[in-house]
Structures are given as C-alpha cells and as structure tokens.
Structure 1
Amino acid sequence: MLELSWPWLLVLLPLPLIMYFLPRTKAKGDGIWWGNSHQLRHHQDIKVATRKPTLRNTCLVIAWFLLIFALCQPVWLGEPTKVTPSGRDLLIALDLSGSMQVTDMALDNQPANRLEAAKSVLANFIKERRGDRIGVIVFGSKAYLQAPLSFDTNTINQLVQETQIGFAGEQTAIGDAIGLGIKRLEDKPSDKKVLILMTDGANTAGRVQPQQAATFAASQNVRIHTIGIGADSMIVQSFFGPKAINPSSDLDETLLKNIAAQTGGEYFRAKSTEDLQAIYHTLDALEPTPTEDIWQRPLTSLFHWLGLGSLAFFGLSLLASYQLTLRNSNWRKRSRT
C-alpha cells in the first residue's frame, strides 16, 4: 500500500498550469514590414520549424509531477511481518583447555569427549534462544571472543561447532573469561546481562583472579551461571587392568559456586550429556525468552526512485530543447542564403 508522508505538497502540482494561463506582456508595435515576398516565405518556414515543442513540454510536465510526488515522501507499506522483541544479551564462555578432551561423555551411545558433548547440547540451546542476542567466548590460557553478540543464531552455532580443543591454550583462565564477558556486556540493560560459564577445571592461568572478576561482575549487574562439566567416575585401563578414577578431580566446584552466588546466578554440575541437556532446559526457564511477538509492516521509501525519474525526464526536456534550437538555427541560416 502506498502512503504519502507529506501529502499537502500536492497543492503545488497545478503551479505550472497557473503560470501558463497568467496574462503575458504583449510586444510593442503593430506590424512588421517585409521587403519582399521571398523573405516572408522563409519567415513562414521558420514559424513552422518553431512550432510548439510538444516533446519538451511533455517531459517537463512528467518531471514536475515526479518531483512533487518525491517531495511528498512516498513510502510503500509491505505485508505485516512478525518480529520477536529483543530478549537478553547472553554470552556463553566455553572452556577449550586440554582437559576438555577427556572422553567421559557419550553421544548417541558412543564415547565422546567433553567438548563434543558441550557443542552438541549448545547447538539446541542456541537454536531455541529466539529473540536473544547470543555471543561466544572461548578460553584456555587466554580468553578470546569467538562470536560477538548477535541475533543470527545460525552463524553463532556454526562458530561454536568450529571450536577445537587447544585453540586458546592448554590451561584455564576463568578470571579472564569473566572479565572479557563483562567488557562485552557493558552499556547493556542491567536486567538482561547474562553469562554462562562452562568449565571442567580450576583457574590455572590469566591475569585476573576469578573472585575479583565475579565481584566486578556483580557491581555491573552481570548474572553468571556456572557449569562444572565432567564425570565423577571413569574406568581406564592400567598396567594392572581396569581401574576406576575420578576424571573431575581438578574441578574447582567451590570457586564456581561462589561466582554464581555472588552474581545472582546458579551453579550446575554436569556429569553426563543428559545432565547438560537438563541444565540448559533449566537455564531456559531461569532466563526466559520473550513470548509475545510484535507485528510490523516494513517501509520502503520511493523518494530516490521518483527523484531519479524526475531528473531523467528533465534531462530529456533539455535534450529536446537543444534539438529544437539547433533546428531553428538551421532554418535561419537557410533563410539568409
């Protein structure tokens, strides 16, 4: 549907017509004397050559109409579309340290390492966060921004799936990951800043202490949910045969619990892929996405198209006027010879 933002400018449309019918000043003198009939015949030929420039006037009229309609700021209203309102700014900090390669998880009844299980569960979680801006931080010995906050969950998910163990180093810089998350969430609404920290170890690297980072996060209203990933029992083959070990002995649960409690978040323990899935279902409930959709109609401005059209027809009128002037000049030269 077409709408005009300034329809009152349409009153200018008849302006050229009004000017056309205004009284004109008549030339002084009652007649012209011609020396002979030969000059009179050439004068009549010139009058024929200088007949009303129909093409030029037509182009000028069209150019004027297009210009006025362009000044009215016409917009085309498209079909109503459903737009999900903005939800939370949600950052996921994913541990890529060397210990994430421990194969104590399972996917489709097949052994899988911790990172493979995390990426599988994150794929479904990110896909369902409709209306949120999702970002990804990866950390090991250092912390890096893998994906900035974006509504494009497909691209975010692809970047998550491309992560590999060791990309950020072999150690674990939990404090740096929190610090980077705070920086990326600054200047955002205070009730919508969420960081999900997933790790399987303790803080062994980085310049920022996790407790200090958590204190600053609390002051910036950044809520941090922490997830400790890793099974508590695993059978390995030793020299003396099968042996049960605790592959998560390095996990600092106390630290993760303190970070979550200090920032108003929750701590979760994921001992299996099923636990991870249940945790992210719980996070969906703790950090709900917008439920009401907004309907809006896209606006497409037609100003530049009408403006270009007006300019094109004005150019055609100038071309027609030039051709007419050239034709008249040729007739005058003939009349003199």
Structure 2
Amino acid sequence: MTVFGIYLAEPLFLLGLLVLPFLLWRTVSLTGRGRVPVPREASVRALVSVRAALWWLPDGLRMLSVAVLVLALARPQVEGEETVAGEGVDIMLTLDMSGSMNAVDMSRDELEAVLEKDETPANRFLAARETLKQFIVNRSRTSHDRIGLVVFGQNAWLKYPLTLDHARLIHTLNDLVLDDGRRDRDGGSCMNACTIDGGGTAIGDALGRAFNQLRRSTAKSRIVILITDGKQTGSTLDARAIAKHIADLPPDERVRVYTFLVGGTDQVWLPDVDRFGRPLVDRDGHPVYARPRQPFPVDPELLQEIASLTGGKFYESYNEEKFKEDVQDLERTVFTAAVERPHHDRFALLVLVGLLLLAGEWVLRFTFFRSIV
C-alpha cells in the first residue's frame, strides 16, 4: 500500500491511530483536575502561570509518540535509487574501410574554412574512428564489456578479437590506414600501406566474421555495431542471409545488429588526383577536393532489414555530428546501466523518534510539570 508516495509494508497497523481520539478526549476531560492552590510567592506564581499555559505539552508529546510508534509498526519504506553496473556485453565493432570512406561530408564553405587553417578535413573514416574510440572509452568507464574489431573493404578481416584490453584496441584503431586509391606499378598493393584493399564493400563477409566471434561468446548480450557508407559489393557471403540465420536461432543464441549508414548528403567531396593517381594540391600546398564523378551506391534497405531481423536498430548518419549523436543514442538506449529502486525501511528511525518523544513527555511530567506543594 502506498500513501503520499510512501510504501507501507504493514498498513493494517494504521488502525492503531484510532486510539488517538480517545487519548485526546481523556486529556481534555481531565483538564483542571488535580490542580493545587497557587502559592503567593511571585517567582513560584510565575512558574505556575507558564506551566498552566503549556498544560497540553506532556499529553501532546504522548499522543505524538503513539502516532509515530503506530506508523513505525506500519513499516513505511522510501524508494531509493542505486545504479548497478550491468553485466558485461560482448560487442563487435565492424568498420567499413572501402575507398568511399575517404569522402568528406560538409559544405564548400566549411571545407574551405578547414583548409585555410591548414587542417585536414575529417573524412567519413576518421569521423567514425574518433567516435568509436570515444565509445570504447565510455564503455571502459561504466562496464566490463569485451569489445572486438572487424574491418572490411574488398574483403573482411578480424582485426582484434573480443577483449577487455580497451587501451590496446584503441591503439589498433589508431593504426588503421584507409586505402587512398593509389597503387604501385604492378597495380596490386596500395601505395600508402593501407590496412585493407578498399576496392569493395564486403558487408556480408564482415557480418559473418563478427557473428563467428560472438557465437562462441557466453555473454548474455551480444551486439554487432556495423558502420558503412555503401552498398554490399565484392562479398562472398550475403548479409541478408546471415541476418535471417541469426533471426532463426534460439533467443539465447541471437546477436543484435545495429547498423549505421554514414554520409549520403549531396555535399560530398573527395581528394582529387591526377591521371597518374597522385593527389593534387593547390598553390598553398592544400589538398584539392572535388565532387565525386558519380554518386556512391548505397543500400539503406539492406541495413534496415539486417537491424530489423536481428532485433537491432538502423541509424542514418548523414554527417559527422549526426553520427556522434546516433552513437550516443545507442549508448543511452542499449548500454544504460541498470537502475535498481530498493525500498529503504524507516521502522528503526521512527521507533527511535517515538521513544524520544515518550521520554520527553516523562521528563517534563516529572520535572517542570511536577505538582508544587
């Protein structure tokens, strides 16, 4: 039973409050009885006058103590709030490193302002990497999650298995090098020592590798965070088929996939290159950026279906700020620490208050209000 927001475990004891009207009647009916003649001495006469004005105080303390003790027997409990560290979640970060992740999503004015400061505009890959690093730091502060990393482009690699060593995982993220499109004379290896060939977007292969890591996990919650800016190309596995397979698994074996489609605005820029594939720079040495010759193919329907089939959520993050907001939304809705609301019993406190009031009544009755002869 809840009264005025306070939960009472034993509300029937409140019937004890019915004794208060009887005590009040008894106090009033006995008023004036047993008085003694007022002495003639002025000091004693003044004391008796004060005592007469406060005649109700001892009985008032008695009734108040009875009320408090009865309330204590009703076991009032106040709801508290305690944040409890949730059980560890196993998370696979799955990051697109295809060539289109070199794209910069900002207006011409924003791009020129960044270049005038001799700064490098954050492309989709850099923006995603920095946001994921902050995500890992946040998880380290509030949980005991194991986090792993899969990167994908033309194919997909497990870059770091599930680990509690988040500092080393962040170091691995820092070491990733995005394919800038330049090739050696043989046309094979990328000239900037890229981490993975960016000539494709193997979403299915990446999802398969992430799922294989999590299917061996014993964690109660297993999650894939898949980040891409393109359409599935060059993959040997079909992402939709993997999502359907996950959906058909028993509930305790399933993996939730949260998909992020980054970029996609009409204000897209790529570092420009000459016919030999060398980056172009202006007179001041700033990289030259140009519009893509053709739009990047995207498949939001696929990402929506993957998320829906696996019980995750699809986010469409059209620029860096929106991506940060979406990852923060993911943290708030999925990774929020559990909050327990225990009821704190106030029985002992109320008994102590009731006994102190009763003691106060006895002290007053046998000292200040003692009959003067």
The interval holding the TM-score normalised by the smaller chain is 0.5 to 0.7
C-alpha deviations, 1:111-152, integer Å up to 9, x for none? Answer: 221101111111111100132111110011111111111111
Displacement of 1:268 in angstroms is: 0.4
Structure 2 residues without counterparts, runs of 5 or longer: 1-83, 180-194, 273-288, 340-373
Instruction: Mark the CA change 1:262 to 1:247 in structure 2 (over 3 Å): closer, same or farther.
Output: farther
Q: Secondary structure at the match of 1:129?
A: helix
2:159 paired residue number: 146
What value does the CA root-mean-square deviation take over the aligned residues? Answer: 3.0
- Give, in whole Å, the separation in 1 of the partners of 2:268 and 2:227: 24
- Give, in whole Å, the separation in 2 of the partners of 1:248 and 1:207: 24
1:1-337 pair list within 5 angstroms: 86-104=87-105, 111-130=121-140, 131=143, 132-166=145-179, 167-170=195-198, 171-189=200-218, 191-218=220-247, 219=249, 220-234=253-267, 249-288=296-335, 290=337
Conserved in 2, the CA contact under 8 Å of 1:182 and 1:222? yes
- Give, in whole Å, the separation in 2 of the partners of 1:126 and 1:247: 35
Structure 1 residues without counterparts, runs of 5 or longer: 1-82, 293-337
AA of the residue aligned to 1:222: V
- Give, in whole Å, the separation in 2 of the partners of 1:140 and 1:113: 16
Instruction: Mark the CA change 1:195 to 1:254 in structure 2 (over 3 Å): closer, same or farther.
Output: same
- Give, in whole Å, the separation in 1 of the partners of 2:293 and 2:148: 32
Q: Secondary structure at the match of 1:112?
A: coil
Displacement of 1:180 in angstroms is: 0.6
Displacement of 1:231 in angstroms is: 3.8
- Give, in whole Å, the separation in 2 of the partners of 1:236 and 1:113: 9
Conserved in 2, the CA contact under 8 Å of 1:230 and 1:247? no
TM-score calculated relative to the size of structure 2: 0.51
AA of the residue aligned to 2:265: D
TM-score calculated relative to the size of structure 1: 0.56
Conserved in 1, the CA contact under 8 Å of 2:103 and 2:268? no
- Give, in whole Å, the separation in 2 of the partners of 1:236 and 1:180: 31
C-alpha deviations, 1:244-292, integer Å up to 9, x for none? Answer: 8798641210110011111011000111111111011111123215458
Q: Percent identity?
A: 31
Q: Secondary structure at the match of 2:104?
A: coil
